[in-house]
Chains A and B, each alone.
Chain A
Amino acid sequence: MAKPETMIINMGPQHPSTHGVLRVVLELDGEVVIKATPDIGFLHRGLEKLAESKTYHQCITLTDRLDYVAGMSNNLAYVLTVEKLLGLGVPPRAQAIRVLLCELQRIASHLFWLGTHAHDIGAMTPLFYALRERDEILFLFERVCGSRLTPAYFRVGGLAQDLPDGFAEKCREFIGTFPSHVDEYETLLTKNKIWMRRTQGVGAILADEAISWGLSGPILRASNVKWDLRKVMPYSGYEAYDFIIPTGKNGDVYDRYLVRLMEMRQSSEIVRQVLDKMPGGEVLADDPRVVYPPKAKVGESIEALIHHFHIASEGFAAPKGEVYTGIESPKGELGFYLISDGSNKPWRFRVRPPSFMNLSALSTMVQGRLIADVVAIIGSIDIVLAEVDR
Chain B
Amino acid sequence: MDQEGVASRIKEKFSESILDASTFRGEITLRLRADDILAVCRFLHDDPELGFNYLTDLCGVDHNPREPRFEVVYHLCAMKTRSRLRLKVSLAGQAPHVSSVVSVWKGADWLEREAFDMLGIAFDGHPDLRRILLTPDWQGHPLRKDYPLKG
Contacts and interface: CB of A to CB of B under 8 A. Distances in A.
B149 A87 contact: no
Given A211-B54, A322-B86, A333-B56, 6 more contacts: A44-B133, A48-B143, A214-B54, A232-B82, A337-B59, A348-B61
B82 A352 contact: no
Contacts of A213: 105-107
Contacts of B79: 211, 225, 227, 232
Contacts of A209: 106
Interface in B98-119: 105-107, 109-111, 114, 118
Given A87-B25, A321-B25, A389-B133, A53 B149 contact: yes
B25 A40 contact: no
A326 B84 CA distance: 11
Contacts of B82: 232-233
Contacts of A130: none
Nearest to B29: A322
Give the dominant DSSP class at A's interface: mixed
Interface of B: 24-25, 27, 29, 53-57, 59, 61, 73, 75, 79, 82, 84, 86, 105-107, 109-111, 114, 118, 131-135, 142-143, 147, 149
Give the bracket for the number of chain A residues in contact with chain B. 35 or more
15 contacts: A41-B133, A44-B133, A52-B149, A53-B149, A213-B106, A214-B106, A214-B111, A227-B79, A232-B82, A233-B82, A321-B25, A322-B24, A324-B56, A348-B61, A360-B106
B25 A337 contact: no
B142 A350 contact: no
A44 B57 CA distance: 19
A323 interface: yes
A389 B142 CA distance: 14
A84 interface: yes
